[in-house]
Amino acid sequence: MVAMTKLKISLTQTIPAHSRLSATVIGVEGKAKSLKLSKNNVDERLLSLFNLDSLGVSAEVGAVKKLAGPSSSLITLVGLGKDTELDSIRQAMGSVARELGNVEHVIIDLPFKSKQELLAAIEGFHLGNYDYLAYKPKADKRKLSKLTVITELKTTALELTELEILTSAVHRTRDLVNAPANDLYPEVMVLAAKKLAKTLPIKIKVWEEKELISEGLGGIHAVGKGSNRPPRLVKMEYKPTGAKRSIALVGKGITFDTGGLSIKPAESMVGMKYDMTGAASCLQAVIAIAELKLPIKVTAWLCLAENMPSGTATRPNDVIKIRNGKTVEVLNTDAEGRLVLADGLSMASEENPDYLVDVATLTGAATIALGNRYAGLMGDDLAITKVQEAAKTTGELVWHMPLPEELRPLLNSDIADIANVKIGNRAGGMLIGGLFLREFVGIEGRTKPAWAHLDIAGPANNDSSAYGHTPKGATGATVRTLVQLARDLSS
């Protein structure tokens, strides 16, 4: 939707000429009062002019200070934290890219100790180099087109391309999620999936309303039937020859969540365009995985619906039937994510994947428990461990939460197999969401896939100010972890 200027990246050992359109980036490390500049080649005489204390320079990760440099250029100091870790580098370079959007040429002059550090810097820079301007293109002030890193280290062209594939997937996720719901509804997501998959070895199948009904996908249908814009299920299958393992990704794709007849109060409804983040993330992850040619089968299931109140909407107390045959009494139409995912998890389970990961902005309770940066992670130990490892590599934040057995009876229904909520109960909302989903993982009598549930209600969207490589608005969080998981499981 928003085409960012493609960044030209070069590594060099000679210092490029400064100009009014360039900025040289130097790091700041250590503690207050004993700050150290961390640089590679910049002229010592120039740096001796700066009094770090009086300038108020900080080593806090991502803190940026712009100073006048030679030939009208900028010298930019960026905090790298106390002990430079890979993710501090990513975050710091993300801040740099955000803050230096109005220069053309950024020159990084940091003493990278390894190729990993260098690649993390470029990754963070790409991630931060983003604005969503689809609805105010005239506000585009970003001139950044060139990144030069002064270093003796080398990367391959393939490594740089892989970083671009990954970070573009994150940008495209943000584009979809930032798009307002008047322009982004289930069919638009279908078109986006088809368009991106067109030139890749990805097979797409779409269930429209009629098929949703005839094939027993009662959850997606029930949630979508109150809207004029009909629901969809999309399957995107990437199956390279020789793949030994398989992952299914299931994403919550509520393009707008009014709550349905259990309508949300006005304030809580703002932001509900973000409720399709799970589906957008799964979509973009499978695209990136195919572009990276990872040797693993990956199937993304996008559960798409708009949750609207109307004369055709699902009512509280309605009983619906999910794909796997279980009946659900809908006591609150605002707990709709679990209904669409129930169908998605059932469909995915029919294909016996080794791993099954669902991603959803499922509960407000997740933000109460974990704040806005951590995703809640629930499920089977094996899948939990794999997701934790992948998240550690990407620097994304996940936190393992329990699925307490004693909470399951809260979902007992008088007339159906299960209810979607316990009315009046506020304790453990995120965990109850997980317990509900668990009922739809695997097929009776078969080995169950290793399942993980990511509740991303917190990290999907950043409604405070930008930080590190995270912009305001849609963040694209978890896309990189899903791709990393596929990478880890493919080797």
Q: Which residues are catalytic?
A: 264, 338
Nearer to ligand BES, 227 or 363 (CB): 363
**DSSP-assigned beta bridge partners for residue 320:** 328
Of 63-71, 235-243, 333-341, 407-415, the segment contacting Zn ion by CB under 5 A is 333-341
Quote the least distance from Cβ 50 to ligand BES, whole Å: 44
Query: 187-207 burial, b for 16+ CB within 10 Å, e for fewer?
Result: bbbbebbeebbeeeebebebb
Q: What angle do CA 331, 332, 334 make, to 5 degrees?
A: 160
Nearer to ligand BES, 129 or 307 (CB): 307
> Residue 59 and residue 296: Cα distance in Å, rounded?
41
Number of C-beta neighbours around residue 156 at 10 A: 9
Choose the one of Zn ion, ligand BES, none that binds residue 291, judging by a C-beta under 5 to 8 angstroms depending on kind. none
Residue choice 74, 89, 196, 365 for contact with ligand BES (CB under 6 A): 365
Return the residues of window 447-476 that contact ligand BES according to CB under 6 A.
457
Burial class (CB in 10 A: 0-12, 13-18, 19+), 413: middle
Nearer to Zn ion, 163 or 179 (CB): 179
Quote the least distance from Cβ 377 to ligand BES, whole Å: 16
Query: Which x/- pattern, by CB under 6 A, does the window 319-358 give for ligand BES?
Result: -------------x-xxxx---------------------
Nearer to ligand BES, 148 or 367 (CB): 367
One-letter identity of residue 284: Q
Residue choice 87, 99, 257, 291 for contact with Zn ion (CB under 5 A): 257
> Residue 479 and residue 118: Cα distance in Å, rounded?
21
- Where are the strands (E) in 326-430, listed by range? 327-329, 355-360, 375-379, 398-400, 418-419
Choose the one of ligand BES, Zn ion, none that binds residue 364, judging by a C-beta under 5 to 8 angstroms depending on kind. ligand BES
> Residue 251 and residue 482: Cα distance in Å, rounded?
12
> Residue 186 and residue 191: Cα distance in Å, rounded?
9
Return the residues of window 253-312 that contact ligand BES according to CB under 6 A.
257, 275
Choose the one of ligand BES, Zn ion, none that binds residue 363, judging by a C-beta under 5 to 8 angstroms depending on kind. ligand BES
Quote the least distance from Cβ 446 to ligand BES, whole Å: 30
Quote the least distance from Cβ 412 to ligand BES, whole Å: 16
Quote the least distance from Cβ 164 to Zn ion, whole Å: 32
Q: How many residues bind ligand BES (CB under 6 A)?
A: 15
Of 79-87, 255-263, 391-399, 455-463, the segment contacting Zn ion by CB under 5 A is 255-263
Nearer to ligand BES, 28 or 360 (CB): 360
Closest CA to 358 of 336, 340, 374, 373: 340
> Residue 338 and residue 436: Cα distance in Å, rounded?
7
Burial class (CB in 10 A: 0-12, 13-18, 19+), 354: middle
Which residue, chain included where needed, has tokens 């429209």? 208
157: tokens are 């062209």
Side by side, the strands of the sheet bearing 327-329 are 319-321, 327-329, 418-419
Which residue, chain included where needed, has tokens 């009208």? 72
Quote the least distance from Cβ 315 to Zn ion, whole Å: 15
Residue choice 7, 92, 149, 421 for contact with ligand BES (CB under 6 A): 421
239: tokens are 């199956």
Return the residues of window 269-298 that contact Zn ion according to CB under 5 A.
275
**DSSP-assigned beta bridge partners for residue 22:** 105
Quote the least distance from Cβ 31 to Zn ion, whole Å: 44
Nearer to Zn ion, 256 or 399 (CB): 256
Query: 71-87 burial, b for 16+ CB within 10 Å, e for fewer?
Result: eebbbbbbbbbeebebb
Question: Is residue 337 part of the contact set for Zn ion (CB under 5 A)?
Answer: yes
Please report, as ranges, the residues that interact with Zn ion according to CB under 5 A: 254, 257, 275, 334, 336-337
Please report, as ranges, the residues that interact with ligand BES according to CB under 6 A: 257, 275, 332, 334-337, 361, 363-365, 367, 421, 429, 457
